[in-house]
Amino acid sequence: EAGVTQFPSHSVIEKGQTVTLRCDPISGHDNLYWYRRVMGKEIKFLLHFVKESKQDESGMPNNRFLAERTGGTYSTLKVQPAELEDSGVYFCASSQVGTDTDTQYFGPGTRLTVL
Amino acid sequence: DQQVKQNSPSLSVQEGRISILNCDYTNSMFDYFLWYKKYPAEGPTFLISISSIKDKNEDGRFTVFLNKSAKHLSLHIVPSQPGDSAVYFCAASATNNDMRFGAGTRLTVKP
């Protein structure tokens, strides 16, 4: 079974540019989460989709970040315009709805560098 | 390619006893290890971490042990409390900031 995939693995952009990160969850997983790891420390929650609906977006830092999940399959996270402090590693995770363990399967992350 | 494994999907412990959650990793480049705690309908929150230069880190009721030769770490919670019931994720990081997560272990602490 394929795991969670993220694209690209690395992205280097200049301040003011736009970047779009993509996450493909495990097939059949309705829950999709985005996280960010900044300064090499702990990860921070960004938002949670259930299918195509945003269940919780309390972690989104500001309106320069836009997440979508049209059709309830893959998700994109767009940063526009990017700022220096947006640099970090962005992780995506997915899980099934209604399981006992609420196990989240994480993707490998996208490392974003804003110059 | 599961570089971080939590082989026990669930664990049930009586209140007041010790909870031991285990995590194994395969990549010898990992040098920083973290544990996260997740309640239902919430994102994971950071719990405790340990650098590879140490073999133990303690914070209140939580202690993380690292055995580099065995590529194994564990989280001990003592005494366990009902509020500790959650899913616990193990994560490992390398100096290049690559980070891998385990699949999680659901801990249930019974009153």
Residues A4-59 have pLDDT tens digits of 999 998 999 999 999 999 999 999 898 899 999 876 666 788 998 989 999 888 88
β-bridge mates for residue B55, sequence order: none
Q: Does A90 touch chain B (CB under 8 A)?
A: no
Q: Is the pLDDT of residue B7 over 70?
A: yes
Tens digit of each residue's pLDDT (9 = 90 or more) over B37-84? 988 766 677 899 898 999 999 999 999 999 999 999 999 999 999 999
**pLDDT of amino acid A20:** 97
For residues A110 and A6, the answer to whether their CB atoms sit within 8 Å is yes
Top residue of A36, A104, A105, A112 to mutate, by most chain B CBs within 10 Å, is: A104
Q: Which of residues A97 and A79 earns the better pLDDT score?
A: A79
**pLDDT of amino acid A39:** 67
Residue whose C-alpha is closest to residue B74's, from B14, B11, B27, B16: B11
Q: Does A104 touch chain B (CB under 8 A)?
A: yes
User: What residues contact B69, with CB distance under 8 A and at least 6 apart?
Assistant: none
Q: Does A49 touch chain B (CB under 8 A)?
A: no
**pLDDT of amino acid A2:** 73
CA distances from B20 to B11, B63, B79 (A): 9, 10, 11
The first and second tokens of residue B8, run together, are 């026990």
β-bridge mates for residue B103, sequence order: none
Secondary structure (3-state) at B82 = helix
Whether a cis peptide bond, with omega within 30° of 0, leads into A81 is yes
The rounded Cα A93 to chain-centroid distance in angstroms is: 8
Using a CB-CB distance cutoff of 8 angstroms, which residues of chain B are in contact with residue A93? 101
How many beta carbons lie within 10 A of that of residue A115, not counting itself? Answer: 10
User: Considering chain A, what is the average pLDDT of its residues?
Assistant: 87
Secondary structure (3-state) at A54 = strand
Rounded Cα distance between B61 and A80, Å, is 43
A106-110 mean pLDDT: 87
Whether a cis peptide bond, with omega within 30° of 0, leads into B44 is no
Nearest-by-Cβ selection for B101 from A45, A106, A111 = A106
Q: Is the pLDDT of residue B97 over 60?
A: no
The distance of B97 to chain A (nearest Cα, Å) reads 6
Residue whose C-alpha is closest to residue A91's, from A50, A40, A37: A37
Q: Does A16 touch chain B (CB under 8 A)?
A: no
Shortest CA distance from B48: residue in chain A: A42
How many beta carbons lie within 10 A of that of residue A34, not counting itself? Answer: 27
Q: Is the pLDDT of residue B14 over 80?
A: yes
Do B97 and A40 lie within an 8 Å CB cutoff?
yes
Nearest-by-Cβ selection for A37 from B10, B87, B99 = B99
Using a CB-CB distance cutoff of 8 angstroms, which residues of chain B are in contact with residue A3? 1
Do B43 and A91 lie within an 8 Å CB cutoff?
no
Size of interface A-B (CB pairs under 8 A): 67
Do A109 and B99 lie within an 8 Å CB cutoff?
yes
